[in-house]
Amino acid sequence: MLKTRKPQAPGSRIFLPAAVIFFWRFIGILISSPYNSPLCVLTLCAMRSKLVVGNWKMHGSLAVNAELLQAVRDGAGGLRTEVVVCVPYPYLAQAWTLLEGGAVSWGAQDVSEHDQGAWTGEVSGAMLAEFGCRYVIVGHSERRSFFGDTDGVVAAKFLAARRAGLIPILCVGETLAEREAGMTGEVVSRQLDVVVQASGIEAFAAAVVAYEPVWAIGTGRTATPDQAQEVHALIRGRLCAENAVIGNGLRVLYGGSVKPANAAEIFARPDIDGGLIGGASLAAADFLAICAAT
């Protein structure tokens, strides 16, 4: 028996297609706008949603995690910002179990540049994806400093994450010696350029960049909001030189000792789209307060 369609009100049949056509025409206009077009810049800046990522580093236990994850899940439901926790590998299954279906996403703190093979101790992007990960951190300063991740290795990990359908959070930043030598721009630009050359600027349409001044991580020192904004603007400008649509749409996080007391002032800067949070992400109240400050 043939199914019959219910009669529709006049004009209702063309409403949805018309809306879709308008949307894509608008996007086409936006993409074709000149790089310095106010329409392009203002629209994409307004479209950037805030993001706060907790990096647990090598902390946690099954019992402690259960309480922390539940508290973050309960508290994140009413927030406007996107909330992510990047947990140690052994706890990915626990994060998946406790966070699935809620407002909090989860991810990993590193990924192998290799997809599979005889690489003892490595974890591939496909493996992370099987545990429901959406994000993965690549190039964190601790990986660069203590484990020898060069710019080339970081670029390879960025590519591996994208191959697996993960969103890489690319970390860049300078040491205290480099800052004092006036090399901040040179160092950050080099770290970005290696990844852009390896992946192409298009890969940054599904990526996040985090600026972490190495001298402000775990030291209690924090870049002033103006110092952070200056480097964030440099990062965005560098990528806009390749593709203004992607550069202006990219979320750039700040990752240098963000606390509930300074989060709002830092996040108020125009090129700072949230934070990569270390120690404060291990206390649910502090982490949620930072998330609420965006």
Could you tell me which of 21, 86, 78 has the C-alpha nearest to residue 53? 86
Amino acid letter, 175: T
Question: Which member of 82, 142, 212, 232 is catalytic?
Answer: 212
140 noted as active-site residue: yes
Residues sharing a CB contact under 8 Å with residue 128, sequence separation 6 or more, in sequence order: 92, 107, 108, 111, 136, 164, 166
Amino acid letter, 64: V
190 vs 49: CA distance, rounded Å: 27
Cβ atoms 235, 269 nearer than 8 A: no
232 noted as active-site residue: no
137 vs 55: CA distance, rounded Å: 9
Question: Which member of 140, 142, 174, 232 is catalytic?
Answer: 140
Active site residue ranges: 140, 212
